[in-house]
Amino acid sequence: MAWVDDTNSILLTDLYELTMLQSYFAEDMRKDAVFSLFVRRLPENRNFLIACGLEQVLDQLANLRFSEQNIAFLRDQNKFTQPFLDTLKDFRFSGSVHAVAEGTPVFENEPILEVVAPIGQAQVVETFIMNQVHVQTVSASKAARVVAAAQGRAVVDFGARRMQGADAAIKAARAFFIAGVDATSNVLAGELFGIPITGTMAHSYIEAFEKETDAFDAFIRSYPDTVLLVDTYDTLEGVRRVVALAERLGPSFRVRAIRLDSGDLIELAFKARQILDDAGLSQVQIFASGGLDEHVIARIVAAGAPIDGFGVGTAMAVSDDAPGLDIAYKLCAYAGQGRLKLSAGKPILPSRKQVFRVEQDGRAVRDIIARDGEAQPGRPLLRPVMKDGQVLADALPTLSESRTLAASEFARLPEAVRSLDPATPPYPVVVSDALLAHQEDVRRQVGA
Amino acid sequence: MAWVDDTNSILLTDLYELTMLQSYFAEDMRKDAVFSLFVRRLPENRNFLIACGLEQVLDQLANLRFSEQNIAFLRDQNKFTQPFLDTLKDFRFSGSVHAVAEGTPVFENEPILEVVAPIGQAQVVETFIMNQVHVQTVSASKAARVVAAAQGRAVVDFGARRMQGADAAIKAARAFFIAGVDATSNVLAGELFGIPITGTMAHSYIEAFEKETDAFDAFIRSYPDTVLLVDTYDTLEGVRRVVALAERLGPSFRVRAIRLDSGDLIELAFKARQILDDAGLSQVQIFASGGLDEHVIARIVAAGAPIDGFGVGTAMAVSDDAPGLDIAYKLCAYAGQGRLKLSAGKPILPSRKQVFRVEQDGRAVRDIIARDGEAQPGRPLLRPVMKDGQVLADALPTLSESRTLAASEFARLPEAVRSLDPATPPYPVVVSDALLAHQEDVRRQVGA
């Protein structure tokens, strides 16, 4: 089947990246360029984004190669000269990257990463970098809201079936975990990233048996401590069948939880809890799924419904209220000179930059986007992660470390920014005077 | 890097598919099940969906294998018995599939495909089938609207950078092409699926030169018949520089088009056209991009703006107004008996089905969902595509054939359904009396 993998991912690029690469070769332009990856405006429904996907970017840059087969395909397009195609055999990424750590909350116009490399190298990786950071940042940013709404209750990713393709299914599971989701149902994401995997049972399993009770009996023969799905026919009747099962099995009853997947989850949870508690089954937890998003979960939590964990599918899987980001990867310097475009409504901050997060009493109060090298108050967020094409030693924390960082950084955001409602005013991001002056200088020079 | 490919795609599944598979093995349940894939409700902003992704489903089913490495990972989970793991070595999909042709418009509750296979086999492929059909059906359904809005003007997919991951970038490009998009900027999608690839130039290229004119000069040295991007600094000034270039080059000027990527595209297109025409450059086309979706394109076309083609990015790439479908893969029969669940708001049509599209004067007027084998007026849409685990000879048309079918089927939909506005009333989908009676029969039998 047609897949993207290490043998062809270099061609996961817009054609113009390659035609520009050839033109830079033809014009002998190989001075260093600075490209900045940032989101121009936050989506309406997001007070912050969680930067994610750096590991895949660095992996790609460190291993960038055109294979014989890649080159042969390009040759067949009749757009490339043989001298240019010959250079592709030895094409490597030799530049440097500064980036914010995965899991860091970022805001509009703040660089998520900046690439410094000979212009062709820095240009040709644009599409890939954007693609991988986009999907993971979209996913982590949505998941952070879901996790916040759950207020410490377990959140499990049930989304693989409705994610946008196979790569999203594993990369989003990774991003969700960084953002605080506890586990995934996606087996492959578990294998590839070491994320805890979990699962319950489907309605189809229940339906395959003549009676719901028979299905429960059969499933616990294989999985005594499983989660039983109780809403296939009549939810509360299903709960009573679990109670009957407990009575039949006595001390060997080890069912861990029931799952509700339809109906009024709040009302059903209260009633199911009562039935379980009345039967002395207070240890049996209640897990809910079915149409959940951060708002539904917040209502459930606010109602005090006795639900111990949430399986979240489509809404988180596709980030339904903000599926796309206005993410851009823009040239901001070439040959040591700041560059920008003047296109309407799309301002660029030229040259290498740093983002400082200013905190008071352990709470972030504003960010400052400054020129690289400027002294500013606050913590600098961008740090070197790649030099001369090599990933730096401490550039890539483990997934658990990124998850811990994300939780800690999130906790330090102002309460209004952490809220599900739009923060008014939004979190303050200011551009330093020196960077504004530099922008003005560059603006006056370009466009002649 | 972590990718999904043929060596691990069988693990792109929810854990419960595998635990249920083991339980079916333990319980010796291996009778045939029927699973149906359908969308329960259309998104608010869709009058129809374009079914897409069947080729990837059949490819997966025909080649389904657990490798030693896949099995080793499962063994490490301590959830599976050795006798069960031993069966996975020889696990194959031996069932049959009926499906609507890719490119067919479908409506709520209509089966996109139905799988008949021993229950474990039919169950374990659920997540993968849904994932692949979901992303391509979401993408094709959005693209069909964009293509309709463009009324014959060229539409090019510029979305790879903001699609949800690498697999979506190639699979959506495939779906877009089936839905009528003319070309993609995505080189790998071009290689893997034979879709025409195309591209222009980026702002960064222009900015890398001291002067816009120098950039134009350099780019046409490599690509004399290219598209020049004119909005980096001042759009109309950029157009005048193209005119100056034409005057300098005389008969060797072969630039094919200019591209507008910002500002008021309608106003700029009229003015740019005037400047070009006044200079005798009526052959130079105008190509537009930047924040386009079907609604913006419809306004441009309605205004009569002289724009010859559209590059469409984010909105189409993520299907921003309907990123997720309420798609389901549901057991509807086991061991020859119809099955369904009674969960609130999620009705199931039991047993194998057929969809008939009834037409009058070459225009579709209603669909009938009927039991398989029923005589009904209209064209049956589901046809056999796989038998005994083998793809049938005529099951997979070429991409171009699917594209032609999609255009022809779209043209036969009622005008209100083809419109960008919600069709009121929606396209009529009726369930046959025999199927309703069967549903009622099954409903009475289940849930004891």
Distance from CA of A191 to the nearest CA of B (A): 7
Q: Report which secondary-structure segment, H or E, holds A132.
A: helix A126-150
**Is residue B268 one of the residues assigned to a domain?**
yes
| A177 shares its domain with A312 | yes
Asked whether residue A119 falls in the same domain as residue A203, the answer is: no
> Coil, helix or strand for B15?
helix
Alpha-carbon dihedral sign for residues A395, A397, A398, A404: negative
Same domain, B302 and B211: yes
Contact between B165 and A171 using a beta-carbon 8 Å cutoff: yes
C-alpha closest to that of B323 among B4, B38, B46, B12: B46
Q: Which chain B residues contact residue A197 at CB under 8 A?
A: 15, 77
Q: What is the β-pairing status of strands A327-334 and A32-39? A: antiparallel
Q: Identify whether B2 is part of a domain.
A: no
pLDDT for res A447? 64
In whole angstroms, what is the distance from residue A322 CA to residue A294 CA? 13
Residue B72 shares a structural domain with residue B194: no
Question: Across the interface, which of B19, B74, B221 has its CB nearest the CB of A26?
Answer: B221
- Read off the CATH number of the domain in which B157 is found: 3.20.20.70
Question: Taking a C-beta distance cutoff of 8 angstroms, is the pair A114, A55 a contact?
Answer: no
Nearest CA in chain B to A56: B1
Distance from C-alpha of B193 to C-alpha of A296, rounded to nearest angstrom: 41
Pair of tokens at residue A385: 């992660």
Q: Are A159 and A312 in contact (CB under 8 A)?
A: yes
CA distance A38 to A18: 22
Q: Is residue A4 part of a domain?
A: no
Q: Do B56 and A447 touch (CB under 8 A)?
A: no
Nearest to B165 among A26, A167, A186 (CB): A167
> Does B130 contact A162 at a Cβ distance shorter than 8 Å?
yes
Residue pointed to by tokens 């539904």: A296
Q: What is the pLDDT of residues A329-387, one digit of tens each?
A: 999 999 999 998 887 766 789 999 999 999 999 999 999 999 999 999 999 999 999 99
- Residue B447's pLDDT is 64
- B60 with A1: Cβ contact below 8 A: yes
A189 and A91 in a single domain? The answer is no
Q: Which residues of chain A neighbour B266 with C-beta distances below 8 Å?
A: none
- In the numeric block, the tokens 């690509």 are attached to B223
Q: Which of A68, A204, A221, A327 to mutate to test the interface with B (most CBs of B within 10 A)?
A: A204
DSSP, collapsed to helix, strand or coil, labels residue A254 as coil
User: Given a cut of 70, is residue A448 above it in pLDDT?
Assistant: no
CA distance A418 to A141: 11
Reference A98, options A373, A312, A420, A284; nearest CA is A373
| Sequence letter at residue B5 | D
Closest CA to A79 of B186, B223, B229, B189: B223
- The answer on A187 and A93 residing in a single domain is no
Average pLDDT rounded to a whole number, residues A240-247: 98
Tell me whether 0.95 is exceeded by the ipTM.
Answer: yes
Neighboring chain A residues of B123 at a CB cutoff of 8 Å: 202, 204-205
**Contact at 8 Å (CB) between B104 and B51?**
yes
Buried b (16+ CB within 10 A) or exposed e, A139-174: bbbbbbbbbbbbeebbbbbbbbbbbbbbbbbbbbbb
**How far off is chain B from A428, nearest CA to CA, in Å?**
26
Last residue of a domain, one of B317, B351, B381: B317
Rounded distance between C-alpha atoms, residue B140 and residue A3, angstroms: 19
Decide if B145 is inside a domain: no
DSSP A65-95: ---HHHHHHHHTTT-S-HHHHHHHTT-----
Q: Given this model, what pLDDT does residue B448 score? A: 54
Q: Which pLDDT score is estimated for A82? A: 98
Q: State the best of B16, B77, B226, B349 to mutate against chain A, taking most chain A CBs within 10 Å.
A: B16
Tell me which residue range forms the domain holding A393. Answer: 9-139+322-445
* Cross-strand pairs, B387: B390
| Smallest Cα distance from B447 to chain A, Å | 5
Mean pLDDT within A390-398: 96
Q: Which of A416, A16, A80, A99 is nearest to B161 (CA)?
A: A16
B-chain residues within 8 Å CB-CB of A130? 161-162
* Domain presence at residue B1: no
Residues B13 and B33 occupy one common structural domain: yes
Nearest to B168 among A79, A165, A319 (CB): A165
Q: Is B22 helix (H, G, I), strand (E, B) or coil?
A: helix
Identify the residue among B12, B31, B138, B184 best suited for mutation to test binding to A, counting A beta carbons within 10 A and taking the highest: B12
pLDDT value of position A342: 86
Residues B326 and B286 reside in one and the same domain: no
Clarify whether residues A277 and A332 are in a common domain.
no
Q: Is the pTM of this model over 0.90?
A: yes
Mutate to test the interface with A, among B131, B138, B287 (most CBs of A within 10 A): B131
Instruction: List, for chain B, all residue ranges whose pLDDT scores fall below the cut of 70.
Output: 345-346, 447-448
Q: Are A330 and A35 in contact (CB under 8 A)?
A: yes
Query: Within 10 Å of residue A86's Cβ, how many Cβ atoms?
Result: 10
Give contacts of B56 with chain A, Cβ < 8 Å. Answer: 1-2
Asked if the Cβ–Cβ distance from A119 to B23 is below 8 Å, we say: no
B304 shares its domain with B330: no
CATH of the domain at B52: 3.20.140.10
Domain boundary among B270, B299, B317: B317
The answer to whether residue B344 is domain-embedded is yes
Residues A9 and B191 sit within 8 Å (Cβ to Cβ):
no
- How many cross-chain Cβ pairs, A to B, lie less than 8 Å apart? 392
Residue of A nearest to B326 (CA): A314
Report the domain count for chain A.
Answer: 2
What integer pLDDT is reported at residue A132 of this predicted model?
98
Q: How far is A383 from chain B (nearest CA, A)?
A: 23
In chain B, residues with a C-beta closer than 8 Å to the C-beta of A8 are 188, 191-192
**How far apart (Å, rounded) are the C-alpha atoms in residues A128 and A35?**
14
Residues of B in contact with A11 (CB under 8 A): 187-188, 191
Question: Closest partner residue to A324 among B33, B231, B317, by Cβ?
Answer: B317
- Give B-chain residues touching A124 at CB under 8 angstroms: none
What mean pLDDT do residues A273-292 have? 98
Residues of A in contact with B314 (CB under 8 A): 324, 326
CB within 8 A of B81, min separation 6: which ones?
Answer: B22, B26
Residue B257 backbone phi and psi in degrees, to 5:
-165, 165
- Tens digits of per-residue pLDDT, A167-193? 999 999 999 999 999 999 999 999 999
pLDDT of A446: 81
Please provide the DSSP assignment of A202-232 as one string.
-HHHHHTSSSHHHHHHHHHHH-TT-EEE--S
Residue B187 has its nearest CB partner, among A18, A169, A320, at: A18
* Residue finishing a domain among B317, B337, B369: B317
Q: Which amino acid is at B52?
A: C
Residue A1 is assigned to a structural domain of this protein: no
Which residue in the set B160, B199, B226 is minimally distant from A131, CB to CB?
B160
Q: Is the Cβ pair A134, B161 closer than 8 Å?
A: yes
Whether the Cβ atoms of residue B378 and residue B412 lie closer than 8 Å to each other: no
From B15, B134, B340, residue closest to A199, measured CB to CB: B15
* B237 and B357 share one domain: no
Q: What pLDDT does A10 receive?
A: 97
What Å distances lie between residue A322 and A183, A379, B217, B290, B320, CA to CA? 23, 29, 40, 18, 8
CA–CA gap between residue A139 and residue B165 (Å, rounded): 11
Do A133 and A150 share a domain, yes or no? no
SS3 sequence, B136-201?
A: HHHHHHHHHHHHHHHCCCEEEECCHHHCCHHHHHHHHHHHHHHCCCCEECEHHHHHHHCCCECCCC
Put simply, the answer to whether B168 touches A167 (Cβ < 8 Å) is yes
Between CA A211 and CA B19 the distance in angstroms is 20
Classify residue A306: in a domain, yes or no: yes
Mutate to test the interface with B, among A22, A115, A162, A319 (most CBs of B within 10 A): A162
> How many Å apart are CA A214 and CA A236, to the nearest integer?
17
**Chain B interface test: which of A7, A16, A325 (most B C-beta within 10 Å):** A16
Candidate from B168, B324, B345 with C-beta closest to A317: B324
Which chain B residue is nearest to residue A263, measuring alpha carbons?
A: B344
Residues of A in contact with B14 (CB under 8 A): 158, 160-161, 185-187, 199
Q: Which residue of A has its CA nearest to B202?
A: A16
Which residues of chain A does B206 touch, with a Cβ-Cβ cutoff of 8 Å?
A: 341
Residue B446 has a pLDDT of 81
